[in-house]
């Protein structure tokens, strides 16, 4: 996928290919973020995971989490797409 300022990293392509109905939703959410200054991203659900790598996470309802990086020029790269229900099942019990 390459749209405007959003691309997908090759390691995320398997997850991307498996998604059909959520693709447009993910594209729209990331394009919206790319049009905003970074300081406004948290208002739109994007949370910084690693400042050194400019790595962020974004929840995409109903059950996906997209991990993406951002370049200094504002280009966003989808690094990974995860099913949040699966992640919950993998967390150790407290």
User: Can you give the pTM of this predicted structure?
Assistant: 0.85
Residue 46 forms beta bridges with which residues?
58
Of 70 and 73, the one with more pLDDT: 70
Q: How many CA atoms lie within 13 A of 83 on its CB side?
A: 9
**Class of the 2-90 domain?**
alpha beta
Reported as a single tens digit per residue, the pLDDT across 2-57 is: 457 899 999 999 999 988 888 999 999 999 999 999 999 999 999 999 999 999 99
Give me the phi and psi of 45, to 5 degrees please: 95, 0
The per-residue pLDDT for 83 is: 86
Q: How many CA atoms lie within 13 A of 50 on its CB side?
A: 8
The C-alpha atoms of residue 45 and residue 59 are separated, in whole angstroms, by 7
The C-alpha atoms of residue 3 and residue 14 are separated, in whole angstroms, by 18
- Between the alpha carbon of residue 34 and those of residues 45, 83, 89, the distances in Å are 13, 23, 32
**Domain range annotation of the chain:** 2-90
The per-residue pLDDT for 2 is: 46
């Amino acid at each position: 996928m390459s749209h405007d300022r959003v691309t997908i990293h090759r390691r995320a392509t398997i997850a991307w290919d498996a998604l059909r109905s959520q693709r447009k939703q993910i594209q729209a959410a990331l394009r919206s973020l790319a049009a905003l200054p970074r300081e406004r991203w948290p208002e739109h659900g994007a949370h910084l995971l690693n400042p050194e790598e400019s790595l962020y996470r974004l929840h995409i309802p109903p059950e996906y989490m997209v991990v993406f990086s951002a370049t200094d020029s504002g280009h966003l790269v989808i690094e990974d797409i995860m099913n949040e229900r699966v992640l919950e099942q993998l967390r150790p019990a407290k």
